[in-house]
Amino acid sequence: MLDDDIAIVTGGAVGIGNAIARRFRDEGATVVIADIDEATGAETADDLGCEFQHCDVREYDQVQALVDGVVDDHGRLDVMVNNAGISSVTSVEEMDLEEWEAVLETNLDGVMHGTKAALPHLTESNGCIINLGSIYGLVGGKGAASYSAAKGGVVNFTQQVAIDYADEGVRVNSICPGFVETPMTEELLESERFYNFLEQKTPMDRHGQPEEIAPVAAFLASDDASYITGANVPVDGGWTAF
Ligand code: NAD
């Protein structure tokens, strides 16, 4: 249980972040959803009985204002979930430089921004960070050059910060999902060609649901995970075991 914990979930308006926010709320946490999509974010927060803050994770000043504002309002921060992300399935040759920058800024800089802003507060609360990596941070993906580079960065950054802050009582882990049905993937999962590929690569022969990621986040945030730090946990139906 996450009774009385104060948590921030970036990119919590839809998809995996939404499911994590819901699960944390159900386990007794006070949850602040932060998202660039103001309309959907506010609607989701209303639905869940959570707070909403507009924030673009690419902008450090906005992330710092978000985190400091939550600590001002609630007295502390216990869990920072760096979940906001965008996808890209473009190979190096096809990709323009703007796309590379956008993916790296959101998926890697965004995680660093959340981590940097949250750490001074998490050392006070003995809190934890949960980053959203990907199977594409652990193994190669097909035609996903910028996404894999960013997620590989998240995986290594997670380990690095875990090492640097273990002495200060902050645990840092990532979840590395396989393909999960969210607005990010809905088009891809409708393609028969892609689904055949997914079934070939996934021992469990199916994609996942956000509700299969959220309990892992809740576990990593809980005292039951008190000896776990620097772990990049695949939740992928066996994709990376293959
Ligand atoms: P999604 O696209 O369904 O939702 C992402 C959320 O992030 C949206 O609410 C969006 O508005 C928000 N967002 C995007 N850019 C932002 C920014 N600059 N600042 C603040 N918010 C921003 O994505 P999802 O599938 O729920 O994925 C969540 C995380 O999990 C991402 O980091 C993604 O890379 C990762 N992931 C997803 C899958 C999958 O199959 N869905 C697999 C592996 C990893």
Please state, in angstroms and rounded to a whole number, the distance separating the CA atoms of residues 184 and 22.
Answer: 19
- Can you tell me the mean pLDDT for 140-155? 93
List the end-to-end C-alpha distance of the chain, in Å, as a whole number. Answer: 33
Contact 186, 242 (CB under 8 A): no
- Percentage above 70 pLDDT, the chain: 100
* C-beta of 130 in contact with ligand 1 (< 6 A): no
Task: Verify whether ligand 1 is closer than 6 Å to residue 155 (CB atom).
Answer: no
Rg (CA), the chain: 17
What is the Å distance from ligand 1's center to 213 Cα? 13
Label residue 238 left, alpha or beta by phi (over 0 means left) and psi (-120 to 50 means alpha): left
Q: How far, in Å, CA of 56 to CA of 207, rounded? A: 29
Is pLDDT above 90 for 195? Answer: yes
Q: Is the pLDDT of residue 132 over 90?
A: yes
141 has pLDDT over 90: no
Taken in order of first residue, the domains within the chain and their CATH numbers are 6-180+210-227 (3.40.50.720)
Q: How far is CA 87 from the centre of its chain?
A: 13
Distance from the alpha carbon of residue 176 to the mean position of ligand 1, in angstroms:
13
* Catalytic residue IDs: 147
Q: Which of 91-95, 133-137, 228-232 has the lowest mean pLDDT?
A: 91-95
pLDDT of residue 224: 97
Whether the CB of 177 sits within 6 Å of ligand 1: yes
Cβ(179) – ligand 1 distance below 6 Å = yes
**Mutation probe of ligand 1 site: the residue of 23, 33, 36, 38 with most atoms within 8 A of C-beta:** 36
**Nearest Cα to 63, choosing from 41, 91, 39, 35?**
35
Distance CA(174)–CA(216), nearest Å, equals 10
The model carries a pTM of 0.98
* Residue 137 Cβ < 6 Å to ligand 1: no
- Phi, psi (degrees; rounded to nearest 5) at 81: -105, 110
Instruction: Look at phi and psi of residue 84 and say left if phi exceeds 0, alpha if psi is from -120 to 50, else beta.
Output: beta
At residue 89, does pLDDT exceed 90?
Answer: no
Nearest alpha carbon, ligand 1 atom 32: 85
Q: What is the ipTM of this complex?
A: 0.99
- The pLDDT of residue 91 is 86
Q: How confident is the model at residue 216 (pLDDT cuts 50, 70, 90)?
A: very high
For atom 39 of ligand 1, which residue has the closest CA? Answer: 180
pLDDT band at 48 (very low <50, low <70, confident <90, very high): very high
Q: Give residue 167 CA to ligand 1 midpoint distance, Å.
A: 31
| pLDDT of 173 over the 90 cut | yes
Distance 233 CA to ligand 1 centre (A): 17
C-alpha to C-alpha distance for 162 and 91, rounded to whole angstroms:
31
- Whether ligand 1 lies within 6 angstroms of the CB of 57 is answered as yes
